[in-house]
Structure 1
Amino acid sequence: MGHVQLPSLVLDSQRGELVEATVRVGRGGVSAERSIVALRNHCEAERKRRARINAHLDTLRSMVPGANKMDKASLLSEVVSHLQELKRSAAEASEGLLMPTDIDEVRVEGQENGLDVGPYLIRVSLSCDYKPGLLSDLRQALDSLHLIVMKAEIATLEGRMKNVL
């Protein structure tokens, strides 16, 4: 049997529409039925993907004030701006509060003791993932340095912790 060229519809991803193309049928080629089934599966998967995207965009529209009638690009831009504003507001609201940070960090700072003589005060801040035994390990490290803890503050949030000594 020789090769037969059959017209078929394929999705043009540039234009987002179906266009006519030829499919080779015969030895080593793809059968027309398989091509049509593959095309239908592809179109259905693409339709579901677009529906999921649009559903998420609708959710974003409902969450961002004044975004009901925006096109997709404007909506995404507004969402980014809104998230940046929320992040700034959260940072301002938590200013002065003891909150674990998203990054692991250790800070050691000298502190004024209000006297010309006497003990030297330091402030140590540690932010990291919480794990059992961490406070015990921290206490042993401080004892091995012969340091006296004058004050300790501990905060935890979503598996993170911050210690200020």
Structure 2
Amino acid sequence: MGGFGEDEVSPEGFLDRTDKIGKVIGWAPQIQILAPQAIGGFLSHCGWNSTQESIYFGVPIATWPLYAEQQANAFELVTEVGLGVEISMDYRVGSKGILSAEKIAKEIKDLMEENSEIRKKAKEMSDKSRRALVKGGCSYSSLGRLIDDIIWVWFD
């Protein structure tokens, strides 16, 4: 364990009761966790890096933003591109009220559905993002053009 003192913010006995079925940690090496094919979903605050890593590895997201750009990212993921489910979209409401276990469980079950549209879209976006990074891909080519422009400005 590490990070924010999980034993201090969890209900008394929670970590002992859930020790065999899950793990609560403050920080995790996300890439190592998201990369394996066995990962079925990712409960995320929807920060930019978390969002990009999840898309790259084709892992659908259960969105639960906390602050800053996370709410906009969560909205895009759920509403615009269909790569996730909404645990809570409004961090202001989540901080004042309590989300029910039933609401959280329903969304996680929807996310984990074997042949869901979300899962198919996540795989498709993963393939597209990987193709963008290889030689000849749009991101690879755009970065090359940017470097060429910078060199032209500095050395011409």
TM-score bracket for this pair, using the shorter chain length: under 0.3
TM (normalized to structure 1)? 0.24
Structure (1 or 2) with the greater strand fraction: 1
Structure (1 or 2) with the greater helix fraction: 2
| Structure index of larger Rg | 1
